[in-house]
Amino acid sequence: MSNQSTVLYDAPGPRARARNRITAVVFVVIVVAALGYMVSVLADNGQFAAEKWDPFTVGGTWTTWILPGLWGTLKAAFVSIVLALIIGAFLGIGRMSDHKWVRMVSGFIVEVFRALPVLILMFFAYFLFAKYAVVPSSQLSFAAVVFGLTLYNGSVIAEILRAGIQAVPRGQSEAAQSIGLRKSQMMRMILLPQAVTAMLPALISQMVIALKDSALGYAFGYIEVVRSGIVSASYWGNYLPSLVVVAIIMIVINFCLTGFANYLERRLRRGRRKTNAPDPDVAELETMENVPGFNKIG
């Protein structure tokens, strides 16, 4: 990116530097004015009053609401990612099966669940589980969240793994066949480990999506961090500060995960440098099928 940004403009001379400085000052003034306006409105509303923020210094706010909510978010995201990995592996391998009907069934499942909004899946699971008493009623919303996240992320992970397996050089499977491995052995011992390593950054990014999406449980009363923030806020009467605190918690967690994914990606790429590694951003474009909801057409 640093290369690209310098290609768009020359190394600035005196006039360009002056112009850039003026632009910067104008931009800063606009941003500061906007922020100042927001702050003044907030201050007029008493949002900065100590009693709005004090609840967060009280241990009870954390132990009663925020931490259980955070636990709910992490639990739902973690369970569904583990399940999604399992389902994704089956579906991804299924799409490359030698048997046509296995390919078709897995392909159908992947396409359908990728095309549907996760919230719709969750509503469906919630009412279905409630009607047939599949899970105890105390776990109903948890099960619905996990169901929705698992099917959606499982489908996406299937596509990620399939892309990863197809990216493994052909020589690897040829070599595996030549030493007499069966297809399942080749998949398990040769292809899958390499695909998972190569796709690790994408898989971690998928965890961020699962973490964010678990907040959808809000819509039917699952105790995740956004819901618990709102409940705590209705007790203390500090909606805005609660939302801000919850947002900061989520941003920090997701930011760390994203950073970790980027770090892994750089490391993996460094390991493969000799193989003519493509521009990371362009490669990203080509693997955009990992973007939620991408349907490969034509």
Partner 1 sequence: MSTLWESMGPALWPAFWITIKLTFYSAIGSLIWGVLLAGMKVSPVPVMRGFATVYVNVVRNTPLTLIIIFCSIGLYQNLGLALAPDNATFIESNNFRLAVLGFILYTSTFVCETLRAGFNTVPIGQAEAARSLGLSFPQVFGLIVLPQALRTVIAPLGSVLIALTKNTTIASVIGVSEAALLMKSELETNGDQILVIFAIIAVGFMIITLSEGAFFGWAAKRWAVKR
Report CA-CA distances (Å) from 38 to 34, 48, 66, 207: 6, 12, 26, 33
Q: Segment near partner 1 (CB under 8 A), from 96-104, 158-166, 216-224, 264-272?
A: 216-224
Regarding 178 and contact with partner 1 (CB under 8 A), the answer is no
The residue behind tokens 């899946």 is: 121
For residue 182, what are its two tokens? Answer: 């069966």
CB of 157 to partner 1, least distance (A): 16
Taking CB atoms within 8 Å and a gap of at least 24, the contacts of 218-224 are 219/119, 219/122, 219/123, 220/122, 220/123, 220/126, 220/141, 220/144, 221/141, 222/72, 222/76, 222/141, 222/142, 222/144, 222/145, 223/68, 223/69, 223/72, 223/141, 224/69, 224/72, 224/73, 224/76, 224/145
Which residue of 34, 39, 42, 104 would you call a contact of partner 1, by CB under 8 A? 42
Regarding 51 and contact with partner 1 (CB under 8 A), the answer is no
The smaller minimum CB distance to partner 1, of residues 7 and 179, is found at: 7
Regarding 39 and contact with partner 1 (CB under 8 A), the answer is no
Rounded CA-CA distance 125/144 in Å is 5
CB 250 within 8 A of CB 211: yes
For residue 249, what are its two tokens? Answer: 């918690």
Which residue of 41, 58, 134, 277 would you call a contact of partner 1, by CB under 8 A? 41
CB of 80 to partner 1, least distance (A): 15
CB 193 within 8 A of CB 220: no
Which residue of 39, 43, 49, 117 would you call a contact of partner 1, by CB under 8 A? 117
275 burial via Cβ count (<10 Å: 0-12, 13-18, 19+): exposed
Q: Segment near partner 1 (CB under 8 A), from 85-93, 154-162, 165-173, 284-292?
A: 284-292
CB 185 within 8 A of CB 43: no
CB 118 within 8 A of CB 80: no
Regarding 12 and contact with partner 1 (CB under 8 A), the answer is yes
Which residue of 59, 171, 180, 298 would you call a contact of partner 1, by CB under 8 A? 298
CB of 230 to partner 1, least distance (A): 7
Q: Segment near partner 1 (CB under 8 A), from 55-63, 98-106, 177-185, 206-214?
A: 206-214
Residues in 119-158 at the binding interface with partner 1, rule: CB under 8 A:
119-120, 123-124, 127-128, 131
Residues forming contacts to partner 1 in the complex (CB under 8 A) are: 1, 4-5, 7-10, 12, 16, 20, 23-24, 27-28, 31, 38, 41-42, 45, 47, 112, 115-120, 123-124, 127-128, 131, 208, 211-216, 218-220, 226, 230, 239-240, 243, 246-247, 250-251, 254-255, 258, 279, 281-282, 284-285, 288-289, 291-295, 297-298
